Amino acid sequence: MLQLLKHYQAHFASNLPGTTDIGLLHLDSKKIRSMLLPTPKDLQESIEKLVPERTKIRTLEVSEWLSQSIRELQKPVNDVSDFVEQSKNYNRINELFNPMREKIDLYGQFLNVISNVGSIKIKKEDENAIKDAEKEISRLAQIIAQVESSQESQSERFKKDLAEKLIP
């Protein structure tokens, strides 16, 4: 889209004459040219400003979700109620994990396009926010795998505990 805007800006600048004669008429297109020429440039500047701002906000939202999810899954499991809570958290987090990972991938692609096509430089803190989120995604993926592998053994342990308490 940014390349398209640049194309039209260059096209209007080079191909739209200021004045032209059409038969007996003398057409002055300076006013139209002055209206059309800035539009692609203004849109491009707006997009280049808006995308990094929104991407940063959304990256921080996903990063907060990742941190919260890691905290919830790392809580110790000491009894049945802890196990049930961890199982609920695991199911909820596991369901949302891939969509959150895809969001971070998409936000990284947005910044990459803006930095390659646009005329602005992406702030280092914005790049670092994406990298940090990617690290948290890897960390959460490992924790999810650990919780998944421990669920079976914990389930058996708590079944035995409940059976012993219910049937003396």
Q: What is the pLDDT of residues 63-104, one digit of tens each?
A: 999 999 999 999 998 888 888 899 999 999 999 999 999 999
Task: Tell me the domain boundaries of the chain.
Answer: 51-166
| Dist. CA 29–CA 31, nearest whole Å | 5
Residue 116: count of CB within 10 angstroms of its CB: 9
Per DSSP, the three-state class of 102 is helix
- Separation in Å, CA 60 to CA 66, 68, 103, 163: 10, 12, 11, 45
Mean predicted lDDT score pLDDT of the chain: 81
| Dist. CA 155–CA 86, nearest whole Å | 11
Q: Taking a C-beta distance cutoff of 8 angstroms, is the pair 126, 56 a contact?
A: yes
Give pLDDT tens digits for 28-39.
666 766 666 556
Give me the architecture of the 51-166 domain, per CATH.
Answer: Up-down Bundle (1.20)
